[in-house]
Structure 1
Amino acid sequence: MKKFWSIAVILIVALFLTACSETTTTEAPQENNNASTSLGTNLTTPEDISSIAVIEAISAEWALTGHASTDGPLNSAGTRDGCQPCHSGNGFLQHLSDNPYTPQADEEAGEEVELPMTMDCATCHTGAGQEMLLTGVTEGYVPFVDGAYEAGKETALCISCHNGRRDTVDMYEQWASGEGQPTDYPHYDAGALYSGMGGIEYPDVEYANSVGHQLLGCVGCHMPETEEGYVSHNFSMDIADIEASCGSCHSNTSDFSVGGNLQAELDELLEELHDAAVAAVDGAAAIGMSRLTFPFVDAAGEPVDIEKVSKEAFVAAYNYYLVYSDKSGGAHNPKYAKSLLQESLWKLQ
C-alpha cells in the first residue's frame, strides 16, 4: 500500500511539473467540463518520495504511450460523445458523474465546445480512476458485465476501457431473437479476452478459462517494477522486464513464447474459422476488419448485405476479430481464446 501511495503522489507531482514546464494549445474545457483533480483527504505522503529521477523517468515513459497523445486528443475521438469516456481525461473522470462531459450535446445546445483534456496523471490517480485503483471494482464501465465488476486492484482501471466496448450478451440475444442485427465490432478488446467473458458466447456452451493471468492482473505484466524501484509506465511488454513479469510465474523463461505452440495453434484456428465463416455468407470474400466493413466484405472490399449473414457467421466473425486484433497471441487468456474460436467453428459445421 505504501508503494502505491508513493507512485500515486509521484505521478501527481509529475503532472504539475509538466504543466509548469511546457506550454500547450489544448485548453481545458470550461463550464461542465471542469472535473475536479483534488487528491482527497485520505492521501498520506511517505517520507521518501522526493526523487526527481523517478518523476522524470515515469513522465518520460508516459509521454511515449498512446494514452499521452496531445493531437486531438487521442485521434480526436475525445470530442465524440460515444468515445470520450476513454479518449479524454475529463471524459473519463466525469463519465458516470452527474456532470458528464458531452461535447456533441453541448454543441447542439448552442454552447461553445472546447477541446477535451488529454489523459494525464490525474486521469488515473484522482476521481473515478483513483477509486478503481483503491477498490479493484469497475462500476458501470464494463458493458458485458451487469453492474459492478470486481476485476481486482491490478486490473480494474485498465479493463474499464480496454474491454471491447460491447455488450456481447445483448448482441447475441438480438441476433438469436430476430430483434436486430447489430454490427458492432470489438474495440480495444484485451480485457474481453482477459476476463474470460467478453466474447460472443453461445448460451448452451461452457467456455474454458485460464485464471493464472487474472491472478497476476494487467499491472503484473504490463507495469512491472523496474530495477530502479518504481513501477514502469510504458505499458509495453519489454523483454528486459521478463523476469519481473512472466518470470514471476514461469521460471527460467527468456522470451514470450511461454505457451509453446499456443501462437501456432491460434493462427491455425483463426485461418480455419475465417474461411468457414466466409464460406457461410453468400458473396463474402473476407471478414471486414474495420468499423466500416465489419462483419464481411465482398471481393471488391465493399460491405456485404447484413441480411445475408447468419447468426453463426456473425458470431464467428466477431470472435475472429476479437482474438485476431487482441495481438497478445492468446496470452491474455489462452484457454478462452481457443475456446471462442473452436466453438464458433463447430457451430458453422
Structure 2
Amino acid sequence: MHRAITVFSAAFVLAASAFLLGNTAPGTAQEPNTASDTGGGTSPVRPYVMPDSGPFHPENIPVDNFAAIEAWMRSGHSDARSPSFSHWNDAGEIPPVCAVCHSGAGFRSFHGLDGSTPGVPEKPVPTGGVVDCATCHNPRLSEIKEVRLPSGIMHPVAGVEAACMTCHQGRAAGATVSNAIGERPADTSDPELSFINPHYATAAASWLGGYGAAGYHYPGKEYSDRFFHARPVASCTSCHDAHSLEVSTETCLTCHETGNPRDIRISRQSYDGSGDLNVGIRSDIEANAQRLMNMLISYSAKVAASPMVYDGHRHPYFFADANGDGAADLTDGKPVAYKAWTPRLLRAAYNWKLVTADPGIYAHNPHYALELLYDSIEDLAAPLDIDMAMLKLRR
C-alpha cells in the first residue's frame, strides 16, 4: 500500500510538471526559445507569471504607521484651512512669534531642531505649514529638557511633551497682569490699560495650575498646583491620542463610572451654589464663569462708568458699549476697543478668559479653574455690593 501511494504521488508530480512546462496559463507570457536539446529539437518552454491586469490599488499595499497618519490627517493639527494656520494666508507669511506654534517650520526653528540657533525665528515663516510629522517626530526633540512658561518658570519636559508644552501654555501669565496694573488704584479707569489676552487652547497652562502661575493670583490666596490626577495619567498623551488628539475614554474608565469627561463629578460638594451633585464638575465651572462675565459687564457700567460688551470672534474681545444695547460701538464701521479698564476689572477679565480659553479645563485642572473664578467673583462683589454668602459658592 505504501509503495502504491508513493508511485501515485510521483506520477502526479510528473504530470503537473509536464503541464506547467508544456502549457501557458491564461494571462501568462512565454519566454522566446532558441536553445536546442541534444536531439536537435527545442527545449520545453518555461512560463513566468505576470501580475493580474487592472488598476493599482494603494489601499491593498500595507504601509507602516498608516493608521497613525490617517488619524493625524483628520485632526486639527493637519487642517491647513483652519484659522490656526490660514489666518495669515493673505499676507503670505506668518510673523515670527506666531510661527512658533502655527507652523511646523517655525516650531523647529524656535527650538533649533533645524540646525538654527534656538529662539524666535529671525524672519517671517511662509504660510501653508501645519503641525506636521517632523514637529513631533524630529529626532532632536528629545534633547529639549525644559520649556519656559509665560510666568518665567522653566518646566522640565520629556519627549513629545516638549511640543505640547511649547504651544499650549498661552502667551501671558498672572505676572503679566500684575506688571501692567502696578500700583494703580483698583477702581480707577486708566486709558493706558488694555485687555491682556492669555490666548487660547491653554491646556498645558491650566494643567500646571498654581505652579505654572498662568492665572492672576490674588494676594493672600493659595492655589492648587499641577493636577496630577491618578495613574495611569501622567502626561498629555495619557488621555489624548497623539495623532487624532481625541480623548481616550478607556483611560477615564480606569477609575470613573463613565468614559465621558464632561459627566465626571470629581467632587461631592457644589461650587456654583446650585447644590446639584448629579452633573459633572464642568457644569459648576461653566456656571461660575457665566456669573463672573455678568459681573464684569455690571462692573463696567456701575463702577467704571463705561459699559462694555464681549465678542469672542473679534480681537481684543472686549468693546465699548456706551448706550448699553449689548452691541459694540462702531467708528468707521469698526468696533471700538474697550478703554476704561480698571485694575480690578482687568485682572478679573483676564482670569475669566484664561478659564474659558481652555474648553477642557474641567478635566485638565478643575480645582484651579474654580479657585480663579471664585476669587475673581469675590473681588468684584465688594464694589458691586454683592453678598458672597448669599451666592452660596464654594472655592
Normalised to the residue count of structure 2, the TM-score between the two structures is 0.61
> Which residue identity does 1:60 align to in structure 2?
E
Alignment of 1:1-349 (within 5 A): 52=62, 55-71=65-81, 74-77=85-88, 79-97=94-112, 98=117, 101-104=121-124, 114-115=126-127, 117-126=129-138, 129-132=141-144, 135=145, 137-138=146-147, 140=148, 142-146=149-153, 148-151=154-157, 153=159, 155-178=161-184, 181-187=193-199, 188-196=201-209, 197-209=213-225, 211-213=227-229, 216-223=234-241, 232-237=242-247, 241-243=248-250, 245-248=251-254, 250-256=255-261, 257-259=263-265, 260-281=279-300, 282-290=305-313, 292-298=315-321, 299-302=326-329, 306-328=338-360, 330-349=362-381
Q: Distance in 1 between matches of 2:94 and 2:196?
A: 20
SS in 1 for 2:155: strand
> Which residue identity does 1:339 align to in structure 2?
E
Q: Distance in 2 between matches of 1:305 and 1:120?
A: 36
2:23 — aligned with what?
none
> Which residue identity does 1:123 align to in structure 2?
T
1:38 — aligned with what?
none
Residue-by-residue CA offset, 1:283-309 (whole Å, 9 max, x unaligned): 324334255233444232246665422
Cα distance change on mapping 1:297 and 1:86 into 2, 3 Å = same
Question: Contact 1:154/1:220 (CA < 8 Å) preserved in 2?
Answer: no
Deviation at 1:62, TM superposition (A): 0.6
Q: Distance in 2 between matches of 1:74 and 1:65?
A: 13
Identity across aligned pairs (percent)?
Answer: 25
SS in 2 for 1:91: helix
Q: Distance in 2 between matches of 1:330 and 1:213?
A: 12
Deviation at 1:144, TM superposition (A): 2.0
SS in 2 for 1:286: strand
Q: Distance in 2 between matches of 1:309 and 1:76?
A: 28
Q: Distance in 2 between matches of 1:124 and 1:335?
A: 30
SS in 2 for 1:82: helix
Question: Contact 2:316/2:337 (CA < 8 Å) preserved in 1?
Answer: no
Q: Which moved more, 1:114-123 or 1:322-331?
A: 114-123
Q: Distance in 2 between matches of 1:195 and 1:68?
A: 26
SS in 1 for 2:356: helix
Cα distance change on mapping 1:301 and 1:347 into 2, 3 Å = same
Report the count of equivalent residues. Answer: 273
Q: Distance in 1 between matches of 2:257 and 2:126?
A: 52
Q: Distance in 1 between matches of 2:172 and 2:136?
A: 22
> Which residue identity does 1:268 align to in structure 2?
A
Question: Contact 2:169/2:203 (CA < 8 Å) preserved in 1?
Answer: yes
Deviation at 1:58, TM superposition (A): 0.5
Q: Which moved more, 1:120-129 or 1:338-347?
A: 120-129
Higher helix share: 1
Q: Distance in 1 between matches of 2:140 and 2:216?
A: 28
> Which residue identity does 1:255 align to in structure 2?
N
> Which residue identity does 1:234 align to in structure 2?
S
SS in 2 for 1:149: strand
Question: What runs of 5+ residues in structure 1 fail to find an aligned partner?
Answer: 1-20, 22-50, 105-112, 224-231
Question: What runs of 5+ residues in structure 2 fail to find an aligned partner?
Answer: 1-57, 185-189, 266-278, 330-334, 382-395
Q: Distance in 2 between matches of 1:203 and 1:253?
A: 38
Question: Contact 2:173/2:215 (CA < 8 Å) preserved in 1?
Answer: no
Q: Which moved more, 1:169-178 or 1:315-324?
A: 169-178
